[in-house]
């Protein structure tokens, strides 16, 4: 494909600015920025995980009452998918802000929007008290959550990666990658005690609101953390170059001058967007089917205790977090593709055994299978935080990386619970989940084979 970068000859346009801060500054600032990105990403995914778990447990009958439990579940998961449909709008909105006005501004705005929408869900009336207005408001707030998520991932990993010292880009970019799993663990740490204290009936009746309302505290902390870090030095350098009165026109790329980064991105780099999306789609399916769908499917269809499913997913997520940084450091040493290809092969091979473990109804078997599967996922998920941004130049990087990742999340993750619900309504076996997930992971494997290694790609252009 003509728009893919060479493995050995990175593209340069005009004189390169001094994009990196002095070494002493980088050593102190980079860890703070990475932690700030992690805090914000954890909070955003906590909000999203709370909704996903609540969809599996209570939101169907509360907002979409029906005599058929499958219909109620489908309706609840449809609102889950609705947030993914609005994510591309978030890519356009926050990608434009991030590429034109700065990464930090986009991140602060996305976190604030997510907090308002999540707290709003916790305050909503149910169908019983408000009728059709209740599901309409729920879907509206879900769409706002989706817009926020469309801007979160790209900004978080970019701010960390563009502050990173040489040779450690994947390591620092992978730190906010722990956010989705940490957000899920945090949501489970709130939901499980609440379930144990008030019981399932109490949770369904009123206590499901507690995790949503607690988001207020988390968002305040996240906003404080994110407003205390500096803007990306790479963004500042490219912005300075394009605004200097003495700059020659030949030194300003069309990417840096673009008023609409998405339009330029799709004109110049459609191949990278499509292949980048494919490279991440399998991992998205593994994450959302394990963390969201199976928590509903196991208890409802197979009679597995709710606590067993939440515990198995939590232990698997913790194992993935534990190897995230070592995996990223390995990709800094040997390259992104070898590590991600290993993870993709592992997910293809392990997908069927992982979901087949649900048939055992044994907590230890399920936990072991989920732990192995989510560790394979970490091999794909950790390096992608550096891999996708490295496919695009600086002034299109926020939009480009976000577009590829969010499309993968939407197609591979957002619709996964809906597709899985439909599949299981026709084939009553968890094996079908494995075949579905394995197919998407095979697609990721093929896309990774078609993409070049990016570890040595210049990052300050």
Cβ count within 10 A of residue 85 = 15
Q: What's the token pair of residue 224?
A: 């404080």
Instruction: Write down the pLDDT at residue 409.
Output: 87
Structure-token pair, residue 4: 């893919």
Show Cβ contacts of residue 51 under 8 Å, excluding neighbours closer than 6 positions: 59, 80, 83, 118, 121, 142, 145, 212
Q: Is the pTM of this model over 0.95?
A: no
Q: How many CA atoms lie within 13 A of 58 on its CB side?
A: 22
Cα 362 from chain centre:
30
Spatial CB neighbours of 217, under 8 Å, sequence gap ≥ 6:
none
- pLDDT for res 254: 44
Q: Residue written as tokens 């929408």?
A: 117
Alpha carbon separation from 191 to 79, 236, 311, 371 (Å, rounded): 20, 42, 12, 21
Q: What is the pLDDT of residue 458?
A: 75
**Confidence (pLDDT) at 61:** 76
- The whole-number pLDDT of residue 355 equals 94
Per-residue pLDDT of the chain (461 residues; tens, 9 = 90+): 445 444 433 433 333 333 444 444 445 678 888 888 888 788 878 877 787 777 767 777 778 776 666 666 667 767 767 777 888 899 999 988 988 888 888 988 988 998 898 899 999 998 888 888 988 898 899 899 889 888 888 888 888 888 888 889 999 999 988 888 888 889 888 988 988 899 888 888 899 899 999 888 888 888 888 888 888 888 887 766 554 554 444 444 444 446 788 899 999 999 999 999 999 999 999 988 998 788 888 888 889 998 899 899 999 999 999 999 999 999 999 999 999 999 999 999 999 999 999 999 999 999 999 999 999 999 999 999 999 999 998 888 989 999 999 899 888 887 887 788 888 888 888 899 999 999 999 999 999 999 999 998 877 65
Tokens of 122: 């916790």
What is the pLDDT at residue 229?
Answer: 82
Q: Are 264 and 258 in contact (CB under 8 A)?
A: yes
Q: Which residues contact 103 (CB under 8 A, 6 or more apart)?
A: 155, 158, 159, 162, 231, 232, 235, 398
| CA distances (Å), origin 300, targets 131, 253, 297, 303, 417 | 26, 55, 5, 6, 14
CA distance 391 to 305: 44
DSSP 56-90: IIIIHHHHS--SSHHHHHHHHHHHHHHHHHTHHHH
* pLDDT for res 273: 95
Q: How far is CA 179 from the centre of its chain?
A: 8
Q: Which of 406, 373, 446 is nearest to 149 (CA)?
A: 406
Using N-to-C axis directions, what is the helix angle for 179-202 and 306-334, rounded to 10°?
180
Query: What is the rounded CA–CA span in Å between residue 70 and residue 217?
Result: 35
Cα separation, 51 vs 48, in Å, equals 5
**Helix-strand-coil percent breakdown of the chain, rounded to 5?**
80, 0, 20
- Cβ(461)–Cβ(256) below 8 Å: no
Q: Is 185 buried (19+), middle (13-18) or exposed (0-12) by CB count in 10 A? A: buried
pLDDT of residue 99: 87
> What pLDDT, on a 0 to 100 scale, did the predictor assign at position 67?
63
What's the CA gap between 434 and 290, in Å, rounded? Answer: 11
């Amino acid at each position: 494909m003509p728009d893919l970068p060479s493995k050995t000859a990175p593209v340069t346009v005009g004189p390169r600015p001094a994009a990196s801060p002095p070494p002493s500054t980088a050593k102190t600032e980079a860890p703070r920025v990475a932690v700030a990105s992690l805090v914000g990403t954890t909070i955003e995914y906590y909000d999203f995980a709370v909704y996903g778990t609540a969809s599996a447990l209570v939101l169907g009958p509360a907002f979409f009452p029906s005599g058929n439990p499958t219909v109620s579940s489908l309706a609840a998961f449809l609102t889950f998918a609705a947030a993914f449909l609005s994510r591309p709008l978030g890519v356009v909105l926050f990608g434009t802000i991030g590429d034109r006005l700065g990464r930090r501004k986009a991140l602060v705005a996305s976190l604030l929007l997510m907090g308002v929408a999540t707290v709003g869900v916790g305050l909503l009336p149910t169908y019983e008290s408000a009728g059709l207005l209740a599901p309409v408001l729920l879907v509206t707030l879900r769409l706002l959550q989706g817009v926020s998520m469309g801007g979160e991932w790209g900004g978080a990993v970019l701010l960390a990666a563009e502050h990173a010292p040489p040779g450690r880009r994947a390591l620092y970019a992978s730190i906010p990658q722990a956010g989705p799993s940490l957000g899920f663990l945090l949501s489970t740490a709130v939901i499980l005690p609440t379930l144990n204290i008030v019981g399932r009936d109490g949770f369904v009746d009123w206590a499901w609101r507690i995790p949503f309302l607690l988001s207020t505290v988390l968002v305040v902390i996240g906003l404080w953390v994110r407003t205390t870090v500096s803007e990306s030095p790479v963004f500042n350098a490219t912005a300075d170059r394009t605004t200097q009165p003495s700059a020659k026109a030949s030194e300003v790329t069309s990417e840096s001058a673009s008023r609409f980064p998405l339009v330029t991105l799709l004109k110049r780099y459609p191949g990278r967007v499509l292949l980048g999306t494919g490279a991440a789609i399998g991992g998205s399916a593994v994450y959302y089917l394990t963390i969201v769908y199976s928590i509903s499917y196991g208890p409802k269809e197979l009679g597995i205790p709710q606590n067993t499913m939440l515990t198995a997913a939590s232990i698997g997520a913790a194992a993935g977090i534990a190897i995230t940084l070592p995996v990223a450091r390995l990709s800094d040493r040997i390259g992104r593709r070898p590590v991600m290809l290993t993870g993709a092969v592992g997910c293809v091979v392990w997908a069927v055994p992982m979901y087949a473990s649900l048939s055992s109804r044994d907590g230890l078997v399920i936990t072991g299978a989920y732990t192995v599967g989510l560790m394979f996922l970490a091999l794909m998920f950790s390096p992608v935080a550096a891999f996708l941004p490295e496919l695009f130049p600086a002034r299109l990087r926020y939009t480009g990386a976000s577009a590829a990742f969010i499309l993968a999340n939407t197609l591979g993750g957002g619709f996964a619970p809906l597709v899985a619900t439909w599949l299981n309504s026709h084939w009553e076996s968890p094996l079908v989940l494995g075949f579905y997930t394995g197919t998407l992971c095979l697609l990721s494997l093929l896309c990774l084979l078609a993409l070049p290694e990016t570890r040595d790609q210049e990052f300050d252009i």
